[in-house]
Amino acid sequence: MLTNTQPKTDLRSDAGLASALRVSMARLTRRLRRQAAAHSLTPTQFATLAAVERHSGITPGELADLEKVQPPSMTRVIGVLEERGLVSRSPHPTDRRQVTVSVTEAAQKLLKEERRRKEAWLTQRLKELTPEERSVLRQAAPILEKLSRI
């Protein structure tokens, strides 16, 4: 059974809930990052790669908007991913001034392995929870997803 090492926060207020979620989610994110497959991508590079996989054929400008970064920064990230053989650029089908970006087979394998490792780790952690705690998480998952999209 996991123990609660987080300081007690008043979860009755929105500010207290926000504080508790911030700390817990940051800690969980760090722990999940430690489960990474053998690669040296930065979190930004990895997030970009995953976004390209979800939106194959996206333009660098659209990708920058999606990832909330400046276009020059996205151009640099795409350049690194392309150098590593993880994305490829192709001419835009209707606008010759633009290119589209897609993941390569190597990227698909890397993303699959990364997800497998993280989900296996998280599955083990979930087994340490009570059935009631897992039930609460099942109810909270769509809400957390909604928060991540706002």
Which pLDDT does position 39 carry in this prediction? 77
Distance separating alpha carbons of residues 48 and 122, to the nearest angstrom: 22
Q: Does residue 67 sit within a domain?
A: yes
98 with 59: CB under 8 angstroms? yes
Residues of the chain under the 70 pLDDT cut:
1-9, 37
Number of domains observed in the structure of the chain: 2
Concatenated DSSP letters of 107-139? HHHHHHHHHHHHHHHHHHHHHTS-HHHHHHHHH
Percentage of the chain lying above the pLDDT 70 cut: 93
| pLDDT of amino acid 35 | 79
The answer to whether residue 23 is domain-embedded is yes
DSSP character at residue 58: B
Query: What's 98's domain CATH number?
Result: 1.10.10.10
**So what's the pLDDT on residue 37?**
67
Nearest to 107 by CA among 38, 147, 50, 61: 50
Do residues 68 and 96 share a domain? Answer: yes
- Record the tokens describing residue 49, joined without a space: 């790669």
Element housing 14 (H / E): helix 14-33
Domain that holds residue 128: 14-37+110-149
Q: Tally Cβ neighbours within 10 Å of residue 101.
A: 24
pLDDT of residue 149: 80
DSSP letter (8 states) at residue 8? P
Check residue 1 and give its pLDDT.
46
68 and 95 fall within a common domain: yes
DSSP string, 29-86: HHHHHTT--S----HHHHHHHHHHHHTTTB-HHHHHHHHT--HHHHHHHHHHHHHTTS
pTM: 0.76
In a domain, 92, yes or no: yes
Residue 1 corresponds to which tokens in the numbers above? 């059974």
Q: Domain for residue 57, yes or no?
A: yes
Residue 2 has a pLDDT of 47
